């Protein structure tokens, strides 16, 4: 890879390979199945990173992941200590009224401090970067939601088979 020169007029400059043929055509599919604030971010961050690397990226929202693209809930995702031993706090604390609200505010502040956008704005950025958003047909039917309930940039409510078909050859992440 490296070129130890001998700078002469005939030496070709050593330039990064941004558009290497082997990285062309790479595709990533991310299935977002969670509606908690803390579980919304991994998919968003990875999608954003992949798009920044020129990878064609599709996000499929299913089950609780619908909260990420439902206009009513997208900006209102919450973080709870309950059932999450990684907070290393007594589980009983998580059940105190107002604790989920507090934990959510703290997490939102920590995320904002890193200049990472909130969920709706992050999805705006992902779509602006060329990312594709898809909603799960069965989840829509279960929750009695239609396209009008979802972000306008969701490209469609599609079946699981449709999603598998359109992500042929893609690497896949389930979150």
Partner 1 sequence: MPTTTIAGQAVEVNDEGFLTRPDQWSDDLGTELARLIGIELTDDHWKLVHFLRDDFAHQGETATLRRVSTQTGTPIKALFDLFPGKPAKKMAYVAGLPKPKGCV
Helix axes 99-113, 37-52, angle to 10 degrees: 20
The minimum distance between CB 111 and partner 1, in angstroms, equals: 9
**Cα three-residue angle 129-130-131, rounded to 5 degrees:** 100
Rounded CA separation 45/28 (Å) = 13
C-beta closer to partner 1: residue 129 or 159: 129
The minimum distance between CB 158 and partner 1, in angstroms, equals: 24
Contact between 59 and 43 (Cβ < 8 Å): yes
Candidate residues 96, 101, 130, 146; the one interacting with partner 1 per rule CB under 8 A: 130
Which range, of 78-86, 99-107, 111-119, 151-159, touches partner 1 by CB under 8 A?
A: 111-119
- Tokens coding 29: 């599919």
Binding of partner 1 by 152 (CB under 8 A): no
Q: Which residues of 154-169 are buried (b: 16+ CB within 10 A; e: fewer)?
A: beebbeeeebeebbee
Q: Which residue has the tokens 């954003």?
A: 48
Binding of partner 1 by 80 (CB under 8 A): no
- Residue window 14-53: x/- pattern of binding to partner 1, with contact defined by CB under 8 A: xxxxxx-------------------------x--xx--xx
Q: Which residues bind partner 1 (CB under 8 A)?
A: 1-5, 7-8, 11, 13-19, 45, 48-49, 52-54, 114-117, 122, 125, 128-130
């Amino acid at each position: 890879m490296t070129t130890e020169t001998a700078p002469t007029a005939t030496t070709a400059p050593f330039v990064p390979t941004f558009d290497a043929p082997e990285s062309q055509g790479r595709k990533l599919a991310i299935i977002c199945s969670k509606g908690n604030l803390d579980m919304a971010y991994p998919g968003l961050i990875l999608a954003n990173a992949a798009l920044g690397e020129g990878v064609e990226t599709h996000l499929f929202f299913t089950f609780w992941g619908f909260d990420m693209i439902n206009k009513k809930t997208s900006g209102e995702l919450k973080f709870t200590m309950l059932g999450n031993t990684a907070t290393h706090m007594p589980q009983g604390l998580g059940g105190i009224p107002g604790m989920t609200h507090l934990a959510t505010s703290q997490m939102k502040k920590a995320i904002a401090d890193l200049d990472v956008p909130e969920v709706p704005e992050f999805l705006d950025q992902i779509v602006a970067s060329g990312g594709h958003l898809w909603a799960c047909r069965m989840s829509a039917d279960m929750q009695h939601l239609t396209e009008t309930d979802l972000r306008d940039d969701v490209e469609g409510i599609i079946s699981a088979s449709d999603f598998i078909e359109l992500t042929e050859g893609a690497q896949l992440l389930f979150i």
